[in-house]
Amino acid sequence: MKQVAERLALQFPDSNKGWSVRTALLIDKTIGDVRPALYALLGAVGFLLLIACANVANLLLARASTRTKEIAVRAAQGASRARIIRQLLTESLVIALLGGALGVLVAHWLLAALLAMAPENLPRATEITIDGRALLFTVAVSIATGFVFGLAPALRAARLDLNATLKESARGAGGGHSRLRSALVIAEVAIALVLLVGAGLLVRSFARLNAVNPGFDPRGAFMMGLNLPPQRYGDGPHQAAFVEQAAATIAAIPGVESVGAAHIMPFSDNDYVLDFFRQDQPRPMPGHFTSASYYATTQDYSKTMRIRLVHGRFFDEHDVAGAAPVAIIGETMAKRYFAGVDPIGKRINMTVGPERWREIVGVVADTKHYGLDGEALSQMYEPFVQSPFPFLNVVVRAPNARPGLAATVRAAIKSIDPDQPVYGFASMDSLVAHSVARQRFSASLFAAFAAVALLLSAVGIYGVMAYSVNQRTSEIGLRMALGAQRSDILRLLLSEGGRLIALGLGGGLVGALLLTRFLASMLFGVSAYDPLTFAAIAALLALVAAAACLLPARRAASVDPLVALKAE
């Protein structure tokens, strides 16, 4: 394709010089821009699974500790280590498979809600379903997690010293603070912090994106499309006359503040780009023209869209078909191509229709055309009556519009031409929201996963602390009998839990610094290493984790020493 373009440039230098061809796979054009978000969500789900599995492993470790007498008796009666490991692994696999089955059932119930949340421009969203591949994947993941996270408790239980275990009391056999359980809690906190930081960055990014000024006021504005048939409106004067009559008719509807029209609208998934050059500069060589987004608009378009005038004037009633050609340019175009020069009064030529010079009469604020996260582009406007188009968009500003506005506008158009269809009626607010729908979807899902991760981590910390307190009841009773105060017991247990939380937060911050850079392409106006987000999320997780430690610690501090020692 590039060779073909090069040959065409040699044969037709006036039109093809400087132009080439860029090829791309269709699948990349279809899903390429959402691939990073999907990978990030897949990673978030994987982290969430790890936290859940760490909780299950902690529970299995605690359960194995309370079954040491039972396992020792089995071993004493002839059960081999392999037999004991096989039994405990079977139990963990059954738990994992039951969890996987329940997960599939919940996913089936939630799938409709997920698809309802999904933006319309999410490619291939209609193909999302729980099919045979999803079920096989669930079974495989369930078996793998059941085996991997059930193996450590099984191996630990199978390595018992029979003589020591059988001589110990039931409580003594299960006592002690497991290093493995502590390590799992640290891992849970670290993974939860990574997820929470990722969610915090995406939420902040979406908030920044949502606060971007689109260059016009979408509130209370609605648009619709018209396509004037060439058989009925074949030339420019007839097209312009119809648009003028339609605007006047719609403006007479109660509640309508103003009406404008443009052949191309921002956020409408269409664009129109033209080359241009200045009259006071040499004509560019072929292939070296500069270009800008082009809009043919009616007189009241800027007023209806509430586009800010920077310098000069808007189009007015003097800019008619037979008058001197005029143009308005955007701020970015003025800064790029008229730096240090007042553009008002300068003339430019746009490569559309017959070659003619248009005098610049105004400079307006840039409007975001392709989305709130898009860069500022050069923009130029021309009166619709001086360059009519058979296709156009009508924008209506009706802040206090009644629900039947769309039907009323269609009826107004039908009163002029019964055969003229009106399509694509939508509020400008909805178009702007549609442009950030993918970012909203990603941020919402990531935040939901992070919230579940926070909950699971709190449950895991609470479970380990509660188990530790339960196993150390006699020790706590003895400490209090020897003079320890409740505040001493509380401080002791909180310091132990605090160490786990601090190690988890430290590991999580390192992990977040390493992994959040993969979110950089999904962020807007926020650094992947934003210190405010890191600090706020770390503080939030520390508070939740501290609360999870506090409840068991307070219960331990209220132990009656006499009851505890009698129980021992």
262-301 tens-digit pLDDT: 999 898 777 888 888 888 888 877 667 788 999 999 999 9
Q: What share of the chain is helix, strand, coil (3-state, %, to 5)?
A: 60, 10, 30
- Does position 174 have pLDDT exceeding 70, yes or no? no
Measure Cα distances from 372 to 16, 80, 155, 206, 367 in Å: 33, 66, 55, 10, 9
pLDDT at res. 60:
78
pLDDT at res. 180:
78
Band of pLDDT at residue 62, cut at 50, 70 and 90: confident
Task: Match 């499309």 to its residue by tokens.
Answer: 225
Nearest to 201 by CA among 525, 540, 452, 544: 525
Band of pLDDT at residue 308, cut at 50, 70 and 90: very high
Nearest to 331 by CA among 375, 282, 380: 380
pLDDT at res. 171:
46
Nearest to 62 by CA among 466, 455, 550, 560: 466
Share of the chain above pLDDT 70, in %: 94
- State which H helix or E strand residue 260 sits in: strand 258-262
- In one letter, which amino acid is 1? M
Helix and strand totals (H; E) in the chain: 20, 11
176-194 tens-digit pLDDT: 446 778 888 899 999 999 9
Q: Considering the entire predicted model, what is its pTM? A: 0.80
Residue 498, beta-bridge partner list: none
432 Cα distance to chain centroid: 15
List the Cα angle 263/265/267 in 5-degree steps. Answer: 155
Euclidean distance between CA atoms 321 and 387, whole angstroms: 8
Measure Cα distances from 377 to 220, 332, 363, 464 in Å: 25, 6, 14, 57
Higher pLDDT pick, 366 / 76: 366
- Overall size of the chain counted in residues: 568
- In one letter, which amino acid is 379? Q
- Under 8 Å between Cβ of 60 and 148: no
Residue 293, beta-bridge partner list: 273, 379
- Does position 367 have pLDDT exceeding 90, yes or no? yes
Nearest to 306 by CA among 223, 368, 397: 397
Minimum mean pLDDT range among 233-237, 246-250, 283-287: 283-287
Mean pLDDT of 368-372: 87
- Does position 344 have pLDDT exceeding 90, yes or no? yes
pLDDT at res. 172:
44
